[in-house]
Amino acid sequence: MTSWTGAARSLGIQLGAVGLGVAVSALVLTTIGQSFGGSIRTLFQGAFGSEFALTQTALKAVPLALCGLAVALPLRMRLWNIGAEGQFHLGAIAATWVALSASGLSAPALLPLTIGAAMAAGALWTLLAAAPRALWGVNEIITTLLLNYIAIQLLAYLVTGPLQGKESLHFPISDFLPAAAVLPRLGSSQIHIGVFFPVALAVLLVLVLRTTKWGFEVRMIGASPDAARVAGVSTRRNIVIVLCAGGAFAGLAGMVEVANTFGQLQQGISPGYGYMAIAIAALAGTSPLGTVIAGFLFGGFVVGGLALQTQAVPQAFVLMLEGIVLFCAVAGARLGLAYQGRRRLHAARLSEEGAPSTP
């Protein structure tokens, strides 16, 4: 069996799992009087059924895909970055602080500065977990997860204190970011140039992972840490690099949201993008380009879920439906990985026996 056939079958398993999650969600909706077919139709029409729906889905896909890449890259080295949510918040905080502090700059100067500050803040925040993991083997799952709560509370403090807007009327919000810090829109649509960020980063990651020495090191460590150690590859250095790079991606997502979606820093700026990113990366099998596609798919689920609320479906119920889809997506990704593992084991056994593998 060729690698392309195996990849196609794994993708089919994952997409089937997502479809099963949608179907189960629609069945659950029947318990509150919604029709099965009508629920699915409302979900997909709300997400993909019009130009407005596609626009909203594309905008939601940007932070989801960027946070997905923040999880997917470390996963190539068997590292779990559960802290994309906190890194997202730090990126939003840094972008707001820089944009408001240097509001007199022109767009060609302020916009790159704001983007750079958001990515640097996300990377430095991740370093708090990456350094202990690299130096002492501290479990990165625990540290990145705990840092999420600190970041969320830090934002809550800042919008009620140092970054609270002068004209906020004591509401926990910042001043609006200057126009020079907002990403330009494409023509007269609501879509901004940020939609190209995850695609560009995914293509860059594919090229780097496949064609550079560093990419080879990352793939080697992910495949066999012991072999990489024997070959003289620095595991500690690469742990810091991949985790901090992931943090930078999530920080960029925070900048995009605070600048173009909200226009100002406030609590609740993320509906859980960093947590959904875990399922997105798992569904994509850590593939950068697959992560972008999965981000768009889950952006559709978020927008379609909002459309369901217009059919008298409570918001809590919509969140539960999204959880069902996420659960099925992760289960599908796990089945895909298990299938790939069995296929590789079978090929290894055939090689040891000297028999030709199946074409």
Tell me the mean pLDDT in the region 48-74.
95
Q: What percent of the chain has pLDDT over 70?
A: 89
Three-state DSSP state, 286? coil
247 vs 154: CA distance, rounded Å: 17
291 vs 59: CA distance, rounded Å: 15
List Cβ<8 Å contacts ≥24 apart for 282-287.
282/75, 282/329, 282/330, 282/333, 282/334, 283/14, 283/18, 283/329, 283/330, 283/332, 283/333, 284/68, 284/72, 284/333, 285/10, 285/14, 285/333, 285/336, 285/337, 286/72, 286/73, 286/75, 286/76, 287/72
Mean of pLDDT over the chain: 88
Q: Position of tokens 């970054």? A: 163
Helix 235-256 and helix 84-101, axial crossing angle in degrees, nearest 10: 60
Q: What pLDDT is stored for residue 7 in this prediction?
A: 60
List pLDDT tens digits, range 206-218. 999 999 999 999 9
Per-residue confidence band for 261, with pLDDT thresholds at 50, 70 and 90? very high
Q: Could you tell me if residue 95 is left (phi over 0), alpha (psi between -120 and 50 degrees) or otherwise beta? A: alpha
List pLDDT tens digits, range 294-309. 899 889 988 988 888 8
Tell me the mean pLDDT in the region 1-30.
71
Scanning 106-234, the segments in alpha helix (DSSP H) are 107-136, 140-158, 196-211, 213-223, 225-230
The DSSP symbol for 257 reads I
Per-residue confidence band for 242, with pLDDT thresholds at 50, 70 and 90? very high
Q: What pLDDT is stored for residue 39 in this prediction?
A: 77
Element (H, E) at 39: helix 36-48
Q: Position of tokens 């809590």? A: 316
217 vs 237: CA distance, rounded Å: 11
Q: What pLDDT is stored for residue 344 in this prediction?
A: 63
The DSSP symbol for 49 reads S
Top mean-pLDDT range of 37-46, 97-106, 273-282: 97-106
11 pLDDT above the threshold of 70: no
List pLDDT tens digits, range 62-84. 999 999 999 999 999 999 999 99
Neighbours of 33 (CB within 10 A): 9
